[in-house]
Chain A
Amino acid sequence: MDVEFSEQQRLIQDSARSFLSANFTRQLVCDARTAPEGCSPQNWADMSDLGWMAIRVPESYDGIDGSFVDLLVLLEEMGRVALPGPFFPTAVYGVEILRECENQQIKEDIFPSVASGQIKLAVALNNDDGEFGPSAVCFTASPGDNGYLLNGASHYVQNGHNADYILCAARMGQCEEPEKDIALFRVATDMPGLCRKPLVTVNGICASEVVLENVHAGSADLISEGMTLWPLLEQATFRSAVAKSAEMVGAAARILEIAVAHAKERHQFGQAIGSFQAIQHHCADMLTDLDSARWMMYKTGWLIDEGRATRQDMAMTKIWCNEACRRILRSGHQVMGGIGYCEEHDMPMFFRYLRLAESSLGGTDDHLAVVADDLLSEEPSMISGNKKD
């Protein structure tokens, strides 16, 4: 491939590839689908020793403070083995949100424990069955003894069943305008009144419904509130959508490798099936999709590090990775034939992984709506997109 990594990024890639390929076999990944922890304590500890949980945690909180592209490099490798478990909600979505917030005390409380692998996070802003936005926030907060009482339900929280803390967005009920009325709380999952129901997704148990009934939150649990909060949450969410795209690209890259290898080895009608144009054209389409998705994903990551990524850049990245990876998955199955339909093959593992990922952090339709909104607003940012990049 031709994205040029730095020395540091090559190091991340090499160590991740060797650790993941040695430790995450298909069988283990499949077993993890039915295991609530998603990833064994030993694997989690090893990954933490490698510094992965700390990759985006700021240095002043015992983190590595890697660039966003560093994170993408790691996530692409994780996608190559369809890595299950709480890494993404904890070290990506959770950390990206907390990085944005100014609450030093919360950061001191949470970041070092995330970096050392001691705690796991989940994020509950909106219901995944609704729109994304301040008006669709899933919880409410009302004043209570020494703090607040939280109520409401979020129907789909990634890693909710597995988290030590859930970052919950709530309406304060003080203002009519949703974006001025939002607060973000840290809620420990062992609090009385918090109920979690694990959900069985296409990729196993990796999410749950979270219901809060008069759950107490102290003032120390209030991470942030007010006008500036929603834009920060939105930033972190769109960045996480780009991060999700990196996982998808990793899985898609593996699918293409598997399909091409199969096309060279598998003989029918007396010749390798890869010599048939029908198969070649599937593979060429897959490479076109993969190269474009991968390049777009890293380019957007680079723009994020440069502080120049627009909401539209990030939405377009997720749109394209969703569409491209879906086609790669379909063509991959087609090239593999019947054997790729068997659960003992890698393809079903990637099917499950990608079908879940394409709906995470905004599906294609959600992001298309965002792009359309931005295009049709007064100053479409797309127009300036190419010129200086």
Chain B
Amino acid sequence: MDFNLTTTDEEENFRVKLSAFLDRELTPQICRQHSMDLGLGPEARAFALKLGATGWLGRGWPEKYGGSGGSVIDEYILVQEFARHEAFVPNIVARFMCGPVILRHGSAEMKAAFLPRIASGEIEFSLGYTEPSSGSDLASMRMRAVDDGDSYIMTGQKIFNTQSHFADYHWLAVRTNPDVPRHHGISLFVVDQRAEGITIRPIETLGGERTNEVFYDSVRVPKSRLVGGLNKGFYYMAEALGYERLMLFQAIRLVPPFKRLVAYTKSTMRGGRLLCDNPDVRRHLAQMATEIRIAQALEDRAFALLKKGNPLDHESSLLKLFASSMRQRFVDAALDIMGPAGRLEEDSEGAPLAGEIIKMARASVIDTIGGGTSEILKSLVATRGMGLPR
């Protein structure tokens, strides 16, 4: 039995160098541009290119597509180190959701056209799955792509396409065959996000991130932009969602705020004593620390499986289920500890921890909804993980 995930000197070396790079290059401004989905400013763009130039963004990918060798463990190190620095891997949708699907299923032409530019930090994608009438029931999507010679004409509406206002490409799922059972008539395309006929309308969210509605009005997309096989898009989407569930919730991201919360309890008086001397507060903190550790253990397990070459199935859903509800319990407990002061927002005078907990509380609402609701994921774990009847 061996629980060492970073066993080789080479991998450890990568971690050390990457960590030093992040210590040096990351600024609060860059982190904020990435985390709020407000749009990549010039600083975040420049950072992505700088990271790309090191070759590290392509760790785990073949060299012919802009990768730089390494294994899935290097990819794990990449996301973990960014999370430890309270940042996100730049262009994370392209790198960890769309890129892997292109690598596995894309044509040679598509791989050559996109993968090197993803690895270099040049381009970002936006996911185009959800429609107003197709949320959890994705297979019911109605947006059509009509065959027109060497291209498709696309018309319809998508919603919750979070990065569309700054992404370079739209990772678009559309119905290419309305006459077959619904899972079998969906295809995936890579569309220029700025193509003529696309309108993007912003939606503000409780968490402060921006997301979008995206309207297509007879947008012409060349057939070369079809990802993999025609009408196989639903399965590729499921695969990409698997990567998404694995990569988005790194428990280690909670460690720095947790440390700040611990420091806060050691320096804040209430009712004549320090918060950290209150048994209820101590219990909250111990429970939080335990659950963060458990989430890390589940992440370790998922990557240990990948390292052994086993593709993940329900395991990434299970991980996302746990991590998302854990983050909600974390903010609930933190707000209980902080009392009324914990409700002060970032801009307010006297907001403890610069309002980060209440902000996290607002944003955590979507954790158990986006990327697959907890209810959908539980059914998936039950049917795929334990063979219960559909």
A residues within 8 A CB of B259? 380, 383
- Which A residues are in CB contact (< 8 Å) with B2? 4, 302
Residues 151-185 of chain B, each 1 if its beta carbon lies under 8 Å from chain A, else 0: 00000000000000000000000000000000000
- Interface-facing stretch out of B36-44, B117-125, B197-205, B286-294: B286-294
Determine if B225 is an interface residue (Cβ-Cβ < 8 Å).
Answer: no
Does B383 have its Cβ within 8 Å of any Cβ on chain A?
yes
Bound complex: CA of A385 vs CA of B321, how far in Å?
A: 23
Q: Complex formed: what's the CA distance from A387 to B292 in Å?
A: 13
Nearest B-chain residue to A285, judged by Cβ: B378
8 Å CB interface, A273-292 against B:
274-275, 277, 279-281, 283-285, 287-288, 291-292
B283 within 8 A of A: yes
Number of interface residues of B (CB under 8 A): 52
> Least Cβ distance of A247 to chain B in Å?
18
Work out how many contacts link A and B, with CB atoms closer than 8 A. Answer: 153
Nearest-CB distance from B356 to chain A (Å)? 18
Which residues on B sit within 8 Å (CB–CB) of A176?
none
A-binding segment of B58-66, B105-113, B188-196, B295-303:
B295-303
When the two chains form the complex, which single residue of B1, B255, B322, B379 contacts A292, counting CB atoms closer than 8 Å?
A: B322
Kindly state the separation between the CA atoms of A158 and B252 in the bound complex, as whole angstroms.
39
**Is B282 interfacial (CB-CB < 8 Å)?**
yes
CA distance A263 to B382 in the complex (A): 11
**Closest beta carbon of chain B to A271's beta carbon, Å:** 7
What residues of B have a CB within 8 angstroms of the CB of A312 in the complex?
289
CB neighbours of B3 from chain A (8 A) = 298-299, 302-303, 389
- In the bound complex, how far is the Cα of B290 from the Cα of A284, in angstroms? 21
Q: DSSP majority for the B interface?
A: helix
Are A275 and B388 within 8 A (Cβ)?
A: yes
Chain A hits for B269, CB < 8 A: none
A272 on the B face (CB < 8 A): yes
Say yes or no: A383 contacts B255, CB within 8 Å: yes
Q: Is B240 an interface residue (CB 8 A)?
A: no
Q: Which of B6, B283, B375 contacts A368 (CB 8 A)?
A: B283
Find residues 1-27 in chain B having any chain A CB closer than 8 Å to their own CB.
1-6
* B276-A376 in contact (CB<8A): yes
Which one of A6, A274, A291, A386 contacts B296 once the chains associate, using CB atoms below 8 Å? A386
Closest to B250 in A: A386
| CB of A295, distance to nearest CB on chain B (Å) | 5
- Does residue B53 face the partner (Cβ distance < 8 Å to A)? no
A295 touches B301 (CB 8 A): yes
Query: Chain A interface (Cβ within 8 Å of chain B)?
Result: 2-6, 9, 69, 260, 263-264, 271-272, 274-275, 277, 279-281, 283-285, 287-288, 291-292, 295-296, 298-299, 301-303, 312, 316, 319-320, 365, 367-373, 375-376, 380, 382-383, 385-389
**Which residues on B are within 8 Å of A, measured CB to CB?**
1-6, 80, 84, 252, 255, 259, 262, 265-266, 276, 282-283, 285-287, 289-294, 296-298, 300-301, 304-305, 308, 310, 318, 321-322, 375, 377-383, 385-390
11 new A-B pairs (CB below 8 Å) besides A283-B382, A376-B265, A380-B259?
Answer: A4-B304, A264-B388, A277-B378, A281-B378, A288-B321, A302-B1, A303-B3, A372-B283, A376-B282, A376-B285, A386-B252
Instruction: List 20 A-B residue pairs with CB atoms under 8 Å apart, sorted by A's residue number.
Output: A2-B305, A4-B308, A281-B379, A281-B382, A284-B379, A284-B381, A284-B385, A284-B386, A285-B378, A292-B322, A295-B298, A298-B3, A299-B297, A316-B294, A319-B287, A319-B290, A365-B283, A368-B287, A382-B292, A388-B6
The 6 A-B residue pairs whose C-beta atoms are closest, nearest first, are A280-B382, A372-B282, A284-B378, A371-B286, A274-B388, A284-B381
